[in-house]
Structure 1
Amino acid sequence: MKIIKDYLDSLFLTVPVTAETQRAKEDLLAIMEDHYYELIEEGKSEHEAIGAVISEFGSIDEILAALELEREEIDEEEYLSAEQVTLDDAFDFWAATRKFALELSLGILLMFFSMASIFMVESYGVIYAMGILGFFVFAALGIGFIISGSMKYVREKRKLKDRSLVKEIYREAFFQLEDYDKSFRVGLVLGIGFCILAIPLTIIFSNMFYVGLMAGSLFFSTIGIGVFLIIYSSIIRHGFKKLTNGQYFVSNNHRPTRATRASYGNATPLIITLRKFYWPLVALFYFFWSTVTNAWEYSWIIFVIAGMVDSFIRESLKRSK
């Protein structure tokens, strides 16, 4: 069961990776899965069985004590002093995530409608006027939704930034994530389907019905609907996934101090320094190299290589979990 495995992974975040702990983790996973299937055979529903399995297993300290293993030293005082994220906070965040997903994806859809309106400008009279009006109206509304939704979502994430996550949050987040997985798959498949459908629709309208303007508008409109579905479902799923990773809530890819320390330990100062200077130096090197060699057409590869180096450094410095 993936949800049980993910939950167990979250419990072992601060446990050093050794042959002994890995074996203990695998044994514990087997026990939890066996218990899950026993509950299913007793007539429990899938969610009831998962909830019972997770509830019956104690904290990581209790599990390690039973297995006679030790947990890696972390700053417990700092962890406990950090205001914990409550279930109410989590549900508020998920509600804000759904709203942001709708506003962002709707804004992007309107931008596609704006591009679709451009094709009507090539006509005359009323259609020309509708194309001009549609372009500016859809673009203005789209930008408004994107900016407004993004700003409100950033404020919601800031409320939880660097706050500690507790066992109940992990468990509820895993449940919500599993509940939403079916909807996510449907949204993803439909979204990809609309994007693919845009090509044959364009060919049909341009070649069979000889409506070139309509074909171009229809192409961007259909692509926009597909992108809307993909982005909307992906953002909501990411909101649930965000509360299943790590000991602290991370509002963006630049992890705050507590979350960084939990991941990198003594290498935290180096990681923080790397964040501040690495990419600005890469950008400066890109412009310097491109100017000196006049190799603008392929010098962008510098960013690809820099990304690979950055990932390698971060993984190398990450503390054993």
Structure 2
Amino acid sequence: MDTIKNYVETLFLEFPNTQEVQRAKQEILTIMEDHYLALIDEGKSEHEAIGQVISEFGSIDELREELEFATREKEPENAIAEAEMYHYLTERKKDTRGLSLGISGCLLAVGVLIGLSISGAEMFGFLLFFIILAISVGIIIYYGMQFSKNGLVLNDRYVPVELNKEAQKLKQGYQKSFQISLVFGIGLCVLSISPIFLFQMFTYAEYGIPVMFFFLAIGVFLIIYGGVNYASFDKFIKEKYFIADEDALGPNAMQAKYGSSAQGKHLLTRIYWPIVTLIFLWFSFSSNEWGRSWLIFVFAGIFYTILEALFVKK
């Protein structure tokens, strides 16, 4: 009997976990189990009965078409189109490249300052340091704002099953690039200390420090760029509704994630931390234990995680 159950579970792995799918799965399982018991009563062995039940079941193609059609019929009108997903991923890649360059530029600025200071050009080093730093911070601010705005037009909109599958294919195709960028990025960060030892062999160890920051800048760029781009596909894979900001779920995403507990989770989000802050201020002023009262936020964070898990839709 377990073999039949496992067979039916395998057949339905590709379908979304909806009420229609669960109902169809239960009906098929009931029919197959009844047929199996009838064959056993006829004197068939367990293996013969299981083999005959599975062989007589036939193809699931017709059922697949019916279920996929039913799913398409019930998709919300604001479903995300494939072109919108590709546009989002393209813009996200541009913004990620800008953020990565900005962060790497800050590291490079430090390396330039140290390198020129060692060479005796301290003032010129400070000048270049502030110029590169200002440009890098400006890039971070600009692309950071673009990064936040990029997903707003898709926020709380339905992710169709076909789009989910396409995103999974894209993520799988990008996996090799992600692994390469991660390996080389971490490798450069680990090996960034080696120039110091290399220059020390020629009694110029201090000249290895700016080279170290150059290695770090490249390594950090590769790690951030590859990691963020790889995670971008999850926006269309992990949830039924697109979530632009994990800390501010839309009504549809909230309902899909927390089900009937969505209103309770929304209320918890709005009142929990203000109450914790009031408790912190009351305890700190009344006891004058400012050195220890900050622990309230630590325990509150742990307790919030536990409460949030209780609201998640099972």
**What is the CA-CA distance between 1:95 and the residue it aligns to?**
0.3
1:167 maps to 161
Matched to 2:89, the amino acid is W
- Does structure 1 residue 295 correspond to structure 2 residue 291? yes
- Does structure 1 residue 273 correspond to structure 2 residue 231? no
- Does structure 1 residue 145 correspond to structure 2 residue 139? yes
1:232 maps to 225
Between Structure 1 and Structure 2, whose CA radius of gyration is higher? 2
- Does structure 1 residue 66 correspond to structure 2 residue 24? yes
- Does structure 1 residue 311 correspond to structure 2 residue 269? no
Larger relative contact order (CA 8 Å, sep ≥ 6): 1
Give the distance between the partners of 1:58 and 1:293, measured in 2 at CA: 53
Give the distance between the partners of 1:282 and 1:202, measured in 2 at CA: 48
* Correspondent of 1:262 among 251, 256, 266: 256
Q: Structure 1's 186 and 279: CA in aligned 2 closer, same or farther, altered over 3 A?
A: farther
Give the distance between the partners of 2:276 and 2:198, measured in 1 at CA: 47
Q: What runs of 5+ residues in structure 2 fail to find an aligned partner? A: 28-70
1:222 maps to 215
1:89 maps to 84
1:180 maps to 174
**What is the CA-CA distance between 1:247 and the residue it aligns to?**
1.4
Q: Which moved more, 1:81-90 or 1:128-137?
A: 128-137
1:118 maps to 113
Give the distance between the partners of 1:301 and 1:222, measured in 2 at CA: 38
**What is the CA-CA distance between 1:250 and the residue it aligns to?**
0.3
Q: Structure 1's 181 and 210: CA in aligned 2 closer, same or farther, altered over 3 A?
A: same
* Cα deviation digits, residues 92-139 of structure 1 (max 9, x gap): 0110111111001111000111222332464465x3233112211211
**What is the CA-CA distance between 1:277 and the residue it aligns to?**
3.3
2:128 maps to 134
> Is the contact made by 1:84 and 1:163 (CA closer than 8 Å) also made in structure 2?
yes
> Is the contact made by 2:79 and 2:158 (CA closer than 8 Å) also made in structure 1?
yes
> Is the contact made by 1:120 and 1:130 (CA closer than 8 Å) also made in structure 2?
no
2:246 maps to 253
Q: Structure 1's 58 and 243: CA in aligned 2 closer, same or farther, altered over 3 A?
A: closer
Aligned residues: percent identity? 27
Matched to 2:305, the amino acid is S
TM-score where L is the length of structure 2 = 0.73
Q: Structure 1's 202 and 249: CA in aligned 2 closer, same or farther, altered over 3 A?
A: same
TM-score where L is the length of structure 1 = 0.72
- Does structure 1 residue 195 correspond to structure 2 residue 189? yes
> Is the contact made by 1:118 and 1:135 (CA closer than 8 Å) also made in structure 2?
yes
* Cα deviation digits, residues 265-286 of structure 1 (max 9, x gap): 2222221222233334445655
* Correspondent of 1:209 among 171, 178, 202: 202
**What is the CA-CA distance between 1:151 and the residue it aligns to?**
1.6
Q: Structure 1's 306 and 82: CA in aligned 2 closer, same or farther, altered over 3 A?
A: farther
> Is the contact made by 2:113 and 2:125 (CA closer than 8 Å) also made in structure 1?
yes
> Is the contact made by 1:120 and 1:128 (CA closer than 8 Å) also made in structure 2?
no
CA RMSD, Structure 1 to Structure 2 (Å)? 3.0
> Is the contact made by 2:8 and 2:25 (CA closer than 8 Å) also made in structure 1?
no
Give the distance between the partners of 1:251 and 1:294, measured in 2 at CA: 37
Give the distance between the partners of 1:29 and 1:107, measured in 2 at CA: 49
Matched to 1:232, the amino acid is Y
> Is the contact made by 2:114 and 2:209 (CA closer than 8 Å) also made in structure 1?
yes
Give the distance between the partners of 2:301 and 2:222, measured in 1 at CA: 29
SS of residue paired to 1:236: helix
Give the distance between the partners of 1:317 and 1:104, measured in 2 at CA: 35
* Correspondent of 1:107 among 102, 110, 113: 102
> Is the contact made by 2:100 and 2:221 (CA closer than 8 Å) also made in structure 1?
yes
Q: Structure 1's 279 and 211: CA in aligned 2 closer, same or farther, altered over 3 A?
A: farther
